[in-house]
Amino acid sequence: MVSYKKLNPEDVRFSSSVLSEDARPVQQDKVSDPDRVSLLPHRPSCSITTSVVVIGCILMLLGVGWVLYTMYWLHSPSSQHSYGPLPPAPGKASGSRLRAEVNRIPSSSHKEACNVISEPWRFDCYPERGVVVTQELCEARNCCFIPTSSASTSAPSQSRKNGIPWCFYPLDFPSYSLVSLNETSMGVKGTLVKGGTTYYPGDILTVEMEICHETDTRLHVRITDPSSSRYEVPISVPAAAKKAENPEYLVELTKQPFGLIVRRRSTGAVLLNTTVAPLFYTDQFLQFSTSLASPYIYGLGEHRSTFLHDVRWNTLTMWARDVPPMEQTNLYGVHPFYLTMEAGGTAHGFFLLNSNAMDVVLQPAPALTWRTIGGILDFYVFLGPDPGSVVEQYVDVIGRPAMPIYWALGYHLCRWGYNSSDSTWEVVKSLRNYGIPHDTQWNDIDYMDQFKDFTFDPTNFDSLPDLVRDLHAHNQTYVIMLDPAISSTQPKGSYWPFDEGLKRGVFMKDAEGKPLIGKVWPGQTAFPDFSDEVTHEWWFDNLRKFHEKVPFDGLWIDMNEPSNFVDGSMNGCPTNSLENPPYTPGVLGGFLRSKTVCASVQQKQSTHYNLHSLYGLMEAKASASALKRILSKRPFVISRSSFPSQGLYSGHWLGDNRSQWKDLYTSITGILTFNLFGIPLVGADICGFSEEPQEELCVRWTQLGAFYPFTRNHNTVGMKPQDPTAFSPLAREAMKQALLLRYSLFPFLYTLFHHAHLHGHTVARPLMFEFPGDVKTYGIDKQFLWGRSLLVTPVLEPGVDFVGGYFPPGLWFDYFTGDSVRSKGEELRLDAPLDKINLHLREGSITPTQAPNLTLWISSGQPLHLVSALSDDGSASGDLFWDDGESLDTYETNQYTYIVFSVSQKAMTSQVLHSSQEASFLSVDSTSFYGVPEKPSRVLVNTREVPFTYRDNQVLTVTGLGLSLAQNFTISWM
């Protein structure tokens, strides 16, 4: 049996002598029952006899031969990578020295050996919840037990959950050994063997590891069971055909115990180091750990937390769950991806492609442990080197987000509790009367007949079709809510969705092969199996039939974790290992079935145990496909549950938040994090969903919400209205101005979404993405950027008329006035009366804007105004993507316009790189230049002299231009 040896990040380089020592084959005793093999190395008894000496000599000769062979394949030359550990780093303790220190401790001094492991590096050996971990229980797993002084001695399980584990792996805990390694066309493939079982059932003692060098910045590793097919996540990922030629990473492997170390070639920084804790690979428990390059780690959604995660014993559980956003629990979506900053401002990412329930444990070493209960270990490392590049490389794997239809970026209004289509209509008319921008009206579940999908209340919502036609006549759109659960109790022949679903067999099935019945809004319900293409066609047919009655424009798919008002089903769930696995991650409710369907439910592609967290993704895919077929336009879908690649099919809103200032603040983290996940179309319910907001809160939230990529005001039943018309004239006007400001920035925002679709860029962007060398930006989640240049600094506290904001080094311009501030990297106090949100432009940027109107359809036809924020050298750049706003695949079919603007040497030029008919409908009417140090004597547009204005704050403005966007132009001054 192979013994596990812990290595700190600096101790992963070995000398040749260590290789020789570790390469010797380890003798193993035969056992009658492999499940009863001890976790500790077996020590055979010895007697001094002639026969033993002879046998020993023979074994020594064989061992020498094995050592030479092993050293050959571990050190065989490779043009790209080192697959064997490198020599010790100067000034650092080598692995052999660490082993020597451990070996000096007498075997009887188990506690002293355990004390060698410092608290930040203690990896939990007893992660089960609800167990008081005693010394007897811990040592039964052959682990170290040391109560910590920081926790109550009466509650060791609480200490383990929220602090330093009392029960942790010793340095010699058994793990896998790398017994063979062969080169492949893409990298290497190796076999890992473990000599005995662990304390979880179903150990897989032989696994296969494959390392693929897919691109210069992407490494792909898979660890699978070669003897049996296991569930794998059914999403498309790229299949590289050629090994990377100049990778930016080095790969090192340790043999006994097996370990994988990935370094950045340019700096030597350790990006992944699995030697820090043992590898587990059992049927329902897979675990590995790694050191982290720094405590600056982001992602790992969906959770309510700060943008920068806390690494002080923080466990993040992933298993899609219907629960209002709260700290320290699993929420609606699952995204096992993180981004980590390194020293010097470089960054890398890590993605575990696994959809089973999991815990991700952060600890202050810093280190991270992945702990999942099914599937395989299939992961990627992305080399960046900057944060934005990491996200680009990640979405190259999961899929770049779809280009949204233009009206998706307008102002959306919804509530649960309009109670009738006429009252909904009255709100729409009220916004029009006050001149408040409004693109899309929604209805919540109350529009349905008895909460049944694909119906509308014939009494209270009898005028719904007329309302939708009126919206369309005013260039507005309409979105309906749908829940996946289908009523199962209607009289036979009266409810086509269920009757037809039964006929086609689209519902998830229980242990008896019958549709599983749960309970949601309409009462007892069946749940469509969206892993089956038959269900997609049934879903399309239902949508098509309903669209003929109510011509909706988009879909809001809610309750799709899937949510269930009973645990499992109306008849409970079977008793088996899927319902009660050996280890259950820290899901809310304690069971996988808590407020969802039974884990053992059968779906087309696998069990729900494996597919649960994919449910929202699969429903979004079916919904987007159906809308394309029905409307022949870009589909608009907003989903509550999400999984990697969701951005291909839908956006996301952050769920049932509250009308609290804290929720206002945490919404920023949500939109930034989901932009990391490749889902840029994201926002929170403006003014909060539950409770009634104060007027001041709703004003501040509307100002912030105007800069969510997806902007919707939504509140719950029984609460007072919170749309802008429901408040005082002062508040209403402040909200109106915030929304008009958003609409004026539509050309800039639309272009950002184009870059998200084409390149995988973020739209709402953390400051650290643009200033990765500035450590002060690493924890900022009260400000954010649109793209690289527009800094948003909202008010997030009550009763104040100012706000503090951090400005990275450089020149910044007030968006509204052009006043400049030169920052050395400092926090500045900004005036923020109730009717203002602070916006600043970064030097060197050009921002295209338009005169706003009541809908984006009208606004998008207005002339452009270009705002240039000049650097000290007088330069700036920007761009504009434009198309008809709704046709499918306009970029892919060349039906678009793309223009680059630049300023240099006192001249702005436009260069039309690609043009379509849409560009001929637009003109550039005016432009402003911020940071022009001296008043010009004259301004020329092409060769024509034109009037201009120049203000003392160094703002030059030229109006009345009438320049065609489809033609190159020059504006110069002297």
Which residues form the catalytic set?
Answer: 558, 561
Angle at 706 between CA 296 and CA 405, to 5 degrees: 95
Residue 527 and residue 593 in contact, taking contact as beta carbons nearer than 8 Å: no
Residue 144 bridge partners (DSSP): 168
- Strand 206-215 and strand 218-224: pairing? antiparallel
Which residues are CB-contacts of 503 (< 8 A; sequence separation ≥ 6)?
A: none
- Quickly count: other Cβ atoms within 10 Å of residue 718's Cβ: 9
What are the angstrom distances between the C-alpha of 471 and each of 427, 468, 474, 574, 884? 12, 5, 5, 50, 20
What letter would DSSP give residue 193?
E
Report the number of secondary-structure helices (H) and strands (E) in the chain. 19, 50
Residue 599 and residue 574 in contact, taking contact as beta carbons nearer than 8 Å: no
**CA 185/CA 243 separation, integer angstroms:** 7
Q: Which residue has the tokens 């492999």?
A: 34
Query: Of 817, 828, 822, which is closest to residue 928 (Cα–Cα)?
Result: 817
Q: Which residue has the tokens 């084959």?
A: 25
**CA 693/CA 696 separation, integer angstroms:** 8
What are the angstrom distances between the C-alpha of 298 and each of 540, 710, 767, 768, 800? 37, 22, 13, 11, 30
**CA 95/CA 254 separation, integer angstroms:** 11
153: which 2 tokens? 């001695």
286: which 2 tokens? 């897979």
In 132-258 the beta strands, taken as DSSP E runs, fall at 144-145, 167-168, 177-183, 187-193, 206-215, 218-224, 249-254
**CA 374/CA 318 separation, integer angstroms:** 13
SS3 67: helix
440: which 2 tokens? 């899309």
**CA 119/CA 122 separation, integer angstroms:** 5
Residue 850 and residue 863 in contact, taking contact as beta carbons nearer than 8 Å: yes
Residue 380 and residue 298 in contact, taking contact as beta carbons nearer than 8 Å: no
**CA 602/CA 520 separation, integer angstroms:** 20
190: which 2 tokens? 């190796």
Query: Of 237, 184, 235, 180, which is closest to residue 211 (Cα–Cα)?
Result: 184
- Quickly count: other Cβ atoms within 10 Å of residue 126's Cβ: 21
Q: Is the link from the previous residue into 579 a cis peptide, with omega within 30 of 0?
A: no
**CA 811/CA 182 separation, integer angstroms:** 55
**CA 754/CA 891 separation, integer angstroms:** 9
End-to-end CA distance of the chain: 81
Amino acid at 5: K
625: which 2 tokens? 């496909």
CA dihedral angle for residue 592, residue 598, residue 603, residue 607, rounded to 10 degrees: 50
